[in-house]
């Protein structure tokens, strides 16, 4: 892995249906995007923000970060990452896609996903977290919490908004304690060739059913390596999430 060159790209757009202007929202004296940038920079030096909004671009450069302006036509952060990678020169071997609304991302999570590329067969890498065996089924069954199953070589077999695997003949309340479930954390890293390829793939039927783009990649034969993390992820999707994040910060200072 020492011979590989890495870059972390943070896609950030101003327009959000549930929380317009989210990257520039203030969280305990700093913006969400600045906090994400600082956390990622603890693990890797080569970090850029990819945005289609001049306000975000100016803000990032003003706090000393690096940013590139991308087009506004992208259907996903993955596509925005590919354009930003090309604008930046396209010299790195591995691109890490970090969501711009994860201000508490842990440096160890970045390092874990990087280590997945110790294997030359890894096309894409991502992270999962073990679901608490004392947790409630209702939390596990939340369709916004994506579940993952993977093989003995730590390659993803399937991602779903449903609870997988199904425990036949077991009361739902007992599922978390009877099987170790894993939930997906939405950070990816790609070999540059894999990122190029997936931006050209048409949407697949399974992807459309679940509204999960990684299923398109699996359907097209790419291998997604799984890294396991114990760190929780706290994303900012709504103004209410921002309020909860403020409370989390105040209680952990």
Instruction: Answer whether residue 239 shows pLDDT above 80.
Output: yes
Looking only at the bridges linking them, the beta strands covering 124-130 and 26-27 are: unpaired
Question: What band does 226 get if pLDDT is binned at 50, 70 and 90?
Answer: very high
Beta strands in the chain (DSSP E): 6-12, 26-27, 30-31, 47-51, 67-69, 94-97, 124-130, 147-150, 156-160, 182-191, 224-228
DSSP secondary structure letter of residue 204: P
Decide the pairing of beta strands 26-27 and 30-31. antiparallel
Q: Average pLDDT in the 168-178 region?
A: 98
Tokens of 140: 């596990």
Cis bond upstream, residue 180 (ω within 30): no
pLDDT interval class at 245 (50, 70, 90):
confident
Lowest-confidence region among 16-30, 39-53, 170-184, 220-234: 16-30
pLDDT band at 1 (very low <50, low <70, confident <90, very high): low
Strand residues in 15-146 grouped as ranges (E): 26-27, 30-31, 47-51, 67-69, 94-97, 124-130
Domains of the chain: 1-105 (3.90.550.10), 108-185+192-233 (3.90.550.10)
The pLDDT tens digits for 177-219 are: 999 999 999 899 999 999 999 999 999 999 999 999 999 999 9
């Amino acid at each position: 892995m020492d011979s590989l060159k890495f870059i972390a790209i943070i896609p950030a757009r101003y327009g959000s249906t549930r929380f317009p202007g989210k990257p520039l929202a203030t969280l305990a004296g700093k913006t969400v995007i600045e906090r994400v940038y600082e956390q990622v920079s603890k693990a890797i030096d080569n970090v850029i923000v990819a945005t289609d909004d001049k306000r975000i671009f100016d803000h990032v450069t003003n706090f000393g970060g690096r940013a590139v302006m991308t087009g506004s036509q992208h259907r996903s952060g993955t596509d925005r990452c590919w354009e930003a990678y090309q604008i930046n020169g396209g010299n790195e071997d591995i691109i890490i896609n970090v969501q711009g609304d994860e201000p508490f991302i842990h440096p160890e999570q970045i390092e874990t996903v990087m280590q997945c590329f110790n294997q030359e067969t890894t096309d894409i890498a991502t992270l999962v977290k073990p679901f608490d065996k004392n947790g409630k089924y209702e939390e596990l069954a939340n369709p916004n919490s994506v579940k993952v199953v993977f093989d003995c070589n730590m390659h993803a077999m399937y991602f779903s908004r449903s609870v997988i695997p199904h425990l036949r003949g077991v009361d739902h309340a007992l599922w978390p304690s009877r099987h170790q479930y894993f939930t997906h954390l939405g950070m990816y890293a790609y070999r540059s060739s894999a990122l190029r390829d997936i931006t050209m793939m048409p949407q697949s039927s399974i992807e459309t059913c679940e509204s999960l783009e990684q299923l398109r990649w699996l359907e097209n034969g790419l291998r997604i390596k799984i890294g396991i993390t114990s760190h929780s992820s706290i994303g900012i999707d709504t103004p209410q999430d921002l309020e909860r994040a403020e409370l989390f910060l105040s209680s952990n200072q």
